[in-house]
Amino acid sequence: MSGRLSTAKGRGRREPPFSRTLTLTAQGLVHTLERADEPTRRGGSTVVTATIVGSFLVRLGGAATGVMLGLLLSSMHRRGMAYSSAMVVSLLMASFYLSELVGAPVAGLLIDRRGLRPLLLGGPIFGVIATVLIAIPSHVILLTAARLLQGLTTACTVPAALAFLSDDRQVGEGSRGRIMGFFEAGSIGGLAIGYTLGGLLWDLLHRDGFWDLIVVYGIAVGLFAFVKATGASKVKRPPSATWRAVRRTGDLIPAWLALSAAAGLWFGQAAYQLSGAHPRAEQLLTHGLSGSTIGVIFGAYTLLFASGTIGWGYFIGRLSTTTAMRVGTLGVVASSIALLGLNHARGFAGLLFVASLALGVVSLAVETAFTPAALTLLASRSDTVPEGRGTVMGVYSMLLGAGQLIGAAFGGLFAMPWGVDGLVFATLILGAIGLFTVPQTGILDGAFSPSPPLRAQEGR
């Protein structure tokens, strides 16, 4: 068998069934966000809305592609085709995160020097090209190139959107917190809908479903075209000042990497393992689920995660960020115990399954404390260098990409010999690392005081 990945014969190209639905969804989000922003309009709410909805669609397209790619490789493996093992899944998923890891800091520097609009437009264009490469029967090398391009999609879009939305000059004084809340909700909502849509598209259209995702990126390009942000800052700041601020995020790195790696383990391997690529008699979660069911599981998980994140956002001002981040890591450990119980239940019922499911829901609500606390701490650091905001906010994508790269790369090593149990064991290790490496000092009310050297530079 050669390295070419072919689709089933006789399947003609169909008209995209979700194109109109996606368009109407985007229009509905635009209308909702514009109404929410009504009290603080200054003639720029359309641009803010376009940025949030465009970012939502980029997240949606990336999530759907990841689920469908895992299901594609699982289907190929069951038919005995080459280049479809768990290690290939890890390679393709790791390619995405490697590209995001390398691309995010570069994108941040380009934003500060050249402006953010080229990055906003370039991101979804990379997504269109990547989706075409996946949709056509292609060699595994081309699939790897496609995943690298998809990583650049996120690396370009997220820092640019965050730099724009976190700048009071662009969104209006006093409205940044609310706007950033909409951005985070839109990002998580995009992931939730993308995971669900990916499973549905695969069940209905199989590989032809990738063509529908081009519509998603096309709408995102159209929305980002509305963004007429100012170019690079005219106030020049020594590179050492930006580097000093970025370096001060170093205490966030170990814990954030560990938890992002745990997410990378599951987002990289879950669709492959849950679809029954390697059934194991003693592991319930490897017996084989449909693409639609897997998509619904991903969607439910992400919506619950979004709800927990929003809920914890109201408590971050009352708890120190250190406390909230430590609570979140404890939730990851508890989630691992719940997954182990679900995997060894005798069926999708019974006391062990129900108890483990209940523990899983509670622990998920607990683990969502980490993200808003970490983002609050990072955003406060970005305020110390407003002219280098793109670089600092690029750290968010860099840490997310690096952690998920580690998880995706090592996921196959744990999954091949031990299946879902291996993923659970790896998650427990990463959760423990996160728990013991949470920053010892945080902020109580979201404020962050620049160090004396940075304060002196601010006054110049």
Residue length, the chain?
460
**Residue 3, domain member (yes or no):** no
> How many CA atoms within 13 Å lie on the side-chain side of 34?
11
Would you say 273 and 427 are in contact if contact means Cβ atoms under 8 Å apart? no
What is the predicted pLDDT for the residue at 153? 93
Residue type, 425: F
451 in helix, strand or coil? Answer: coil
Domain count, the chain: 1
**Is the distance from CB of 115 to CB of 64 less than 8 angstroms?**
no
Cα angle value 61/70/86 (rounded, 5°): 145
Answer for the pair 446, 376: CB distance below 8 angstroms, yes or no. Answer: yes
pLDDT at 216: 92
Phi/psi zone of residue 128: left (φ > 0), alpha (ψ -120 to 50 degrees), beta?
A: alpha
Instruction: Describe the chain by its helix, strand, coil percentages, rounded to 5.
Output: 75, 0, 20
Per-residue pLDDT of the chain (460 residues; tens, 9 = 90+): 444 444 444 444 444 444 555 555 555 555 544 444 443 344 457 788 888 899 999 989 988 888 888 888 888 777 777 676 777 877 887 788 788 888 888 888 888 777 888 888 999 999 999 999 888 876 788 888 999 999 899 889 988 888 787 665 555 544 554 666 577 777 777 877 887 888 888 888 888 888 989 999 999 999 998 887 655 554 555 556 566 666 767 788 889 889 988 988 887 788 788 888 788 888 888 888 887 788 788 778 877 887 887 777 777 767 787 888 999 999 999 999 999 999 999 888 889 999 999 999 999 999 988 877 887 777 677 666 666 667 777 777 788 778 777 887 788 888 888 889 999 999 999 999 999 999 876 554 444 444 444 343 333 3
In a domain, 7, yes or no: no
Task: Tell me the C-alpha distance between 40 and 42, whole Å.
Answer: 6
Q: Print the domain residue range for 383.
A: 15-458
Asked whether the beta carbons of 231 and 114 are under 8 A apart, the reply is: yes
Among residues 185, 179, 116, which one has the least CA distance to residue 394?
A: 116
Beta strands 138-139 and 4-5 are: antiparallel
CA 422, 284, 367, 187 torsion-angle sign: positive
Is 181 exposed, middle or buried, given 0-12, 13-18 or 19+ CB atoms closer than 10 A?
middle
Rounded-to-integer distance, Cα 343 and Cα 226, Å: 48
The DSSP call for residue 8 is P
Closest C-alpha among 51, 54, 60, 65 to residue 190: 60
Kindly state whether residue 146 falls inside one of the protein's structural domains: yes
Look at residue 169 in the predicted model and tell me its pLDDT.
Answer: 55
Instruction: Note the pLDDT of residue 27.
Output: 56
The CA-atom distances, in angstroms, between 300 and each of 93, 193, 295, 303, 400 are 22, 9, 9, 5, 21
Inside any domain, residue 356: yes
Report yes or no on 9 lying in a domain. Answer: no
Q: In whole angstroms, what is the distance from residue 358 CA to residue 39 CA?
A: 41
* pLDDT for the residue 123: 92
Exposure of 2 by Cβ count < 10 A (0-12 exposed, 13-18 middle, 19+ buried)?
A: exposed
Q: pTM value?
A: 0.67
* Confidence at residue 415, expressed as pLDDT on a 0 to 100 scale: 86
CA 424 to CA 333: how far, in whole Å? 9
Which parts of 166-289 fold into alpha helices (H)? 168-171, 176-205, 209-224, 239-247, 253-274
Instruction: Give the separation between CA 242 and CA 163, rounded to whole angstroms.
Output: 14
Whole-number pLDDT of residue 457: 37
pLDDT, residue 239, reads 59
CATH of the domain at 178: 1.20.1250.20
Structure tokens, 213: 């995702």
Residue 8 falls within a domain, yes or no?
A: no
Is position 134 within any domain? yes
Whether 335 is in a domain gets the answer: yes
